[in-house]
Amino acid sequence: MAGGEVKQSTIARPIEWDGLGLHSGIPVRVEMSPSAANSGIVFVRAGEVAGADVEIPALHGSLYSGSRATTLAANAGGAREARIATVEHLLATLYSLEIDNLRVRVDGPELPAMDGSARPLVDRVNAAGREHLPADRGAVTIFESVEIQESGCWIRAEPADRLQLTYSIDFDHPMIGCQTLALRDFDRACFARELASARTFGFLHEWEALRSAGLARGGSLENTVVLDDEGVLNEDGLRFPDEFVRHKVVDLIGDLALLGAPLRAHVSVEGGGHALHHRLVRAIAELATPAHSG
């Protein structure tokens, strides 16, 4: 771009797909369409309230809950409440591929699980192409560190000139153990190469409890890495030796996307999850200074 300016973008062509929700098990159809500059990422629950569509902006102010997945809501607690769950993989993809403006119309309560990773989404967005828009791309900048601790886990954001990520997990399981992933030059190519193919994972001993709680009803070996006490049940095994921490980073990026613009910070996590990610996002939103790149 002239003068080194970075412009906002949207997709060049609409995208449609369908599939089962990981937690709801309900068939869902998704239609993504281009939108104008400065409109942001907006989910649309089709016919949700009295047959009318309800818009849910993909911003931290829409956060509804997030233990096993990230759920957004509009009009929370009201008569016109509408929710959309498991948005993190799509938001991570759009953030990483630098898609700033988009309408995502969904006819069910949750986005489809696909294969449990962001890979099918990356392929669809890349196939649709990217269109630059006549507005500068902003950024979220912090000038002081923020750290949140909870139950022996912590998450921290420190000032930086670009997004850098460090994530560590420690599971008492022979296939996982201690894993750390550090990304210092995060960009579109890095996401596609290092992160997009990493899948959601879960433990067989938790399966029945999750289903009793109304979760994982669409989960299977087709969309989840499932572990018993000894190893991985999926016939094809793992896509990376450290697929587990890589997927945690995908979830983190999807949650950071709720800031509404690219983040300039070094984010470090020790044993986190969606709830801890969301607490950091809210804290950053209070501290951050919006800035235009250029």
- Same domain as 42, residue 170: no
Q: Of 138, 160, 186, which closes a domain?
A: 138
Do 182 and 65 fall within a single domain?
Answer: no
Instruction: Provide the pLDDT for residue 207.
Output: 82
Question: Would you place residue 32 in the very low, low, confident or very high pLDDT band (cuts 50, 70, 90)?
Answer: very high
Judge if 52 and 194 occupy the same domain: no
- Active-site annotation holds for 205: no
Mean pLDDT over 77-93 rounds to 92
Q: Indicate if 143 and 282 belong to the same structural domain.
A: yes
What was the pLDDT predicted at 293? 42
Read out DSSP for 180-222?
Answer: EEEESS--HHHIIIIITTPPPEEEGGGHHHHHHTT-STT--TT
Q: Spot the catalytic one: 60, 89, 266, 274.
A: 274
Task: Tell whether 127 and 166 lie within a shared domain.
Answer: no
- 18: domain CATH number is 3.30.230.20
* Residues 187-213 pLDDT 10s: 999 999 999 999 999 999 888 787 777
Domain holding 183, by residue range, is 139-292
Same domain, 234 and 244: yes
One domain for residues 110 and 74: yes
Residues 39, 124, single domain; the answer is yes
Closest CA to 270 of 147, 124, 107: 147
Q: What is the CA radius of gyration of the chain?
A: 18
Position 1 scores a pLDDT of 37
Judge if 10 and 68 occupy the same domain.
Answer: yes
How high is the mean pLDDT of the chain? Answer: 93
Among residues 95, 116, 138, which one ends one of the domains?
138
* Model pLDDT, residue 36: 98
Contacts of 213 (CB under 8 A, 6+ apart): none
Distance CA 58, CA 32 (A): 14
What's residue 203's pLDDT? 93
**Angle 88-96/243-256 helices, nearest 10 degrees?**
80
Do residue 152 and residue 176 come from a single domain? Answer: yes
Per-residue pLDDT, 290: 61
Indicate if 132 and 12 belong to the same structural domain: yes
Residue 218, domain CATH: 3.30.1700.10
Position 29 confidence tier, pLDDT thresholds 50, 70, 90: very high
Q: Is the pLDDT of residue 75 over 50?
A: yes
DSSP the chain: -GGG--EEEEESS-EEEEEEBTTT--EEEEEEEE--TT--EEEEEEEEETTEEEEEESSGGGEEE-SSS-EEEESTTSTT-EEEE--HHHHHHHHHTT---EEEEESSSB-B-TTSSSHHHHHHHHHH-EEEEEEE-EEEE-SS-EEEEETTEEEEEEE-SS-EEEEEEEESSTTTEEEEEEESS--HHHIIIIITTPPPEEEGGGHHHHHHTT-STT--TTTSEEE-SSSB-STT--SSTTHHHHHHHHHHHHHHGGGSS-EEEEEEEES--HHHHHHHHHHHHHH-EEEE--
Cβ atoms < 10 Å from Cβ of 14: 12
28 burial class (0-12, 13-18, 19+ CB within 10 angstroms)? buried
Q: Sorting pLDDT into bands at 50, 70 and 90, what band is 66?
A: low
Is residue 275 scored above 80 in pLDDT?
yes
Predicted pLDDT of residue 236: 95
pTM of this prediction?
0.94
The residue among 138, 166, 190 that closes a domain is 138
To which residue do tokens 């433990």 refer? 203
pLDDT of residue 27: 94
- Check residues 214 and 198 and name the one with the higher pLDDT: 198
Q: Which amino acid is at 245?
A: V
Domains of the chain: total: 2
Average pLDDT, stretch 235-261? 98
CB atoms within 10 A of CB 286: 8
212/78 same-domain check: no
